[in-house]
Structure 1
Amino acid sequence: MPGQTDADRSLHPQRPVGASARSVLALPKAHLHLHFTGSLRIASLRELAVKHGVRLPESLLADWPPTLSARDERGWFRFQRLYDAARACVKDESDLRRLVREAAEDDVAEGSRWLEIQVDPTSYAGGLGGITPALEIVLDEARSASADLPIGVGVIVAASRLKHPMDARALARLAAKHAGDQPGEVVGFGLSNDERRGTTTDFAPAFRIARRAGLASVPHSGELLGPDAITETVASLQPTRLGHGVRSVESRSVLNRVIDSGIALEVCPGSNVALGVYQAPDEVPLRTLVDAGATVALGADDPLLFGNRLADQYRSAREDHDFTDHELAALARSSIDASLAPADVRRAAYDDIDRWLVSVPGD
């Protein structure tokens, strides 16, 4: 949260960063994997619950952050139930605007120069007159936040695997109407939720609509399922990036195909561990992916439920995988490379990453 120090909110508070380390909060970076409700501050969620008279589960109150798993259907159901409980607190226009604004503020505090926040407007359409006004509110606040803060905010419209593929086509057409490459515009089209549900190829027509409008294809794949799912996603949805994709390391041929195709991976270590994909942070194959030549962009996924934000992912790279400051800078550059940010935002971020790298450690 704003004002936190490098020692705060670490995934590993028992392993403090040395005094000579450069601040990962000050490292310029892009944030490409952040879900809409999942970006909420826990304090804001509790205030919205009071505002709307929603009773939150105890694990979003005294027991936060919750203990989660997604290794089986029961574990995923609990994760989804908590997410749905939080989403039920985001009801009106002011709630949506607050969420976008605070997500941008929190990313600024962590050094982000560009944020791509992912939203399924059908989740918020009920009280706002439909999916079009819901998305337009998000886009308008993204433009406003980008004008007020030292960050650009693009929007990814994401369909859900739990819904009919025809719903995804409707979302793709809506996203196409707002497509662009500037803050406050739709920059990509995604596919989220439990990747064990639905049939990936059924969503190909929606992604064709999005690609024709110039939108990047950014579906989730390769976290809960392995290399075969990634192969299917690459073949049918022609992704620009994969949300997660970490399990590509289980097949060298699949990993090579991802790398050779120029597909970037949005790697979210905190999510992988919280959901039980890997048992400990040092098991996340971040080093393997980077050493193989993959384009990796670290992301926080759902800080509301996992209890860690973007800077924590960089701390994990440093503490659990022994990334040097030069390697952290390379990760930050990789996040800019993989982003859909305008050219001027990219240039400024690259220059500031270089300045971070020559700064005095501890500044």
Structure 2
Amino acid sequence: MARDLRRLPKTHLHLHFTGSMRPGTLVELADEAGMRIPETLRETVAAPDALRLPANERGWFRFQRMYDAARAVVRSEAAMRRLIHEAVEDDAAEGSRRLEIQVDPTSYAPHVGGITPALEIVMDAAREASAAAGVEVAVIVAASRTRHPLDARTLARLAVRHAGDGPGEVIGFGLSNDERRGATTDFGAAFQIASRAGLLLAPHGGELLGPDHISEVVAHLRPDRLGHGIRAAEDPALLERIVADGIALEICPASNVSLGVFAHAGQVPLRTLLAAGADIALGADDPLLFGSRLLDQYETARQVHGLSDAEIAELARGSIRASRASARSRATMLAEVDTWLRTPDPETHP
């Protein structure tokens, strides 16, 4: 027995739309569409923590093939709405008070009439799910490194048109996919469009590639949060600058292990980042493929890294500070974390 991590208030800031899908939903949507799920994908989602890939282009190619196969079953407005509602329900069950979910509407546009309807469906479903589950839900529009930088500018303008602070509205702009693809500088113009509108900037960087890549992302995209950023731990001077600049890190331990960045969870330098004073938001990234949701990341912090409940509470506070929740909402959540920590530990107070 120990303090219940499900009751720990936290926010979830790194979750991808397709990757949030439940394994059962994948199977049902494929059956409805008369589609065959590739055996490698079926085996991966059937066995938690089964995915172990090399941290090279071949490994990423295998990951991307499975991800694309999963995304292919999301072929209707109803399917898109289902994914949002289920993602929010799952977060609520794990103590998440706020979800900022990433979506690239380009992938779903052919099935619903364009990128604008695709984004508006996600936003509308997020509003509904927020009201139903009592979880604040916001949207981050994410461009892809695998497409032309002009596509990223189009998505940045779309994000700006739908920006807002209310439930289901767009609060940020990101950049995802293989860090080795595309030139970071080429995406700077898209991030400037988003920045001028006051959107949160949350590009990926520093998982598959190391400190040099992080330095490029920080210099040219000016992030508020860095998707992953785990390898900043390899360069103390860079990590110090990141902390000084107030750039939060979205750390996804299960992803790091599944994609071969580290051999096992114990190698993830979580304590190094905490010791440097970084604001860390643990995230599940793509639980469909990595077999590990948000709560599992906190369990790993406790069981593998040996974090005390006080240290775990600080992780939760970091996720809250890094979110785009209102000042009032952040204050409420931070107070709830303090209440959780004041609750006696069952191990010492039977």
Which category of TM-score, normalised to the shorter sequence, fits these structures? over 0.9
User: Hey, what's the Cα distance between the residues in 1 that align with 2:282 and 2:316?
Assistant: 8
Match of 1:12 in 2: none
Question: Does structure 1 residue 213 correspond to structure 2 residue 197?
Answer: yes
Q: For 2:167, which of 177, 183, 188 is the aligned residue?
A: 183
Q: Is residue 224 of structure 2 the alignment partner of residue 224 of structure 1?
A: no
Query: What secondary structure, in the 3-state scheme, does the structure 1 residue paired with 2:324 have?
Result: coil
The equivalent residue for 2:15 is 34
* 2:174 counterpart of 1:193: no
Is it true that 1:52 corresponds to 2:61 in the alignment? no
The C-alpha deviation readout for 1:304-363, integer Å capped at 9, x for no partner, is 000000011001111111111111111101100000112232122112111111223349
Check if 1:95 corresponds to 2:79. yes
1:43 equivalent to 2:27? Answer no
Q: Deviations over 1:20-59 (max 9, x none)?
A: x111111110000000100000011110010111111223
The 2-side partners of 1:315 and 1:240 are apart by 26
Partner of 2:300: 316
Question: TM-score w.r.t. structure 2 length?
Answer: 0.96
Q: d(CA) in 1 for partners of 2:94 and 2:41?
A: 23
For 1:333, the equivalent position in structure 2 comes to 317
Instruction: Tell me what 1:104 maps to.
Output: 88
1:22 counterpart residue number: 3
1:126 partner SS: helix
1:128 offset after TM fit, Å? 0.6
Q: CA deviation at 1:61?
A: 2.4
Q: 1:274 aligns with which of 249, 252, 258?
A: 258
Q: TM-score, normalised by structure 1?
A: 0.93
Contact 1:70 1:224 in 2 (8 A): no
- What corresponds to 2:281 in structure 1? 297
Q: Name the counterpart of 2:225.
A: 241
Task: Summarize deviations over 1:165-202 as a string: whole Å, max 9, x none.
Answer: 00000000000001112221101100000001110010
Task: Tell me the distance in 2 between the aligned counterparts of 1:142 and 1:45.
Answer: 20
Matched residue, 1:153: 137
Letter matched to residue 44 of structure 1: T
- Kept in 2: contact 1:68–1:78 (CA 8 A): no
1:66-108 deviation per Cα after TM superposition (whole angstroms, max 9, x unaligned): 4232511111111000000000010100001000000000000
Percent of residue pairs bearing the same amino acid type: 61
Gaps of 5+ in 1: 1-18
- Aligned partners of 1:26, 1:43: CA distance in 2, in Å? 26
1:84 aligns with 2:65: no
- Cα RMSD of the aligned pairs, angstroms, is 1.2
Alpha-carbon distance between aligned partners in 2 of 1:41 and 1:345, rounded to the nearest angstrom? 29
Equivalent pair of 1:182/1:342 in contact (CA under 8 Å): no
Which of these residues, 328, 336, 343, is aligned with residue 344 of structure 1?
328
Distance in 1 (CA, whole Å) between partners of 2:54 and 2:226 is: 19
The alignment partner of 1:235 has SS state of: helix
State the alpha-carbon separation in 2 of the partners of residues 140 and 190 from structure 1.
20
In 2, Cα distance between the equivalents of 1:202 and 1:68? 32
| Superimposed CA distance per residue, residues 269-304 of structure 1 (whole angstroms, 9 cap, x where no aligned partner) | 011011110011110000000011111110000000
Q: Which residue of 2 aligns with 1:15?
A: none
Given the alignment of the two structures, is residue 74 of structure 1 paired with residue 58 of structure 2, yes or no? yes
Given that 2:101 and 2:140 are in contact with CA atoms closer than 8 Å, whether structure 1 keeps it comes out as yes
Against the structure 1 CA distance between its residues 62 and 277, is the aligned structure 2 distance closer, same or farther, given a 3 Å change threshold?
closer
- Quick check: which one's helix share is greater? 2
**Which piece of structure 1 moves more, 180-189 or 302-311?**
180-189
The Cα shift of 1:148 comes to 1.6
How far apart are residue 62 of structure 1 and its match?
4.1
Unaligned runs of 5+ in 2: none
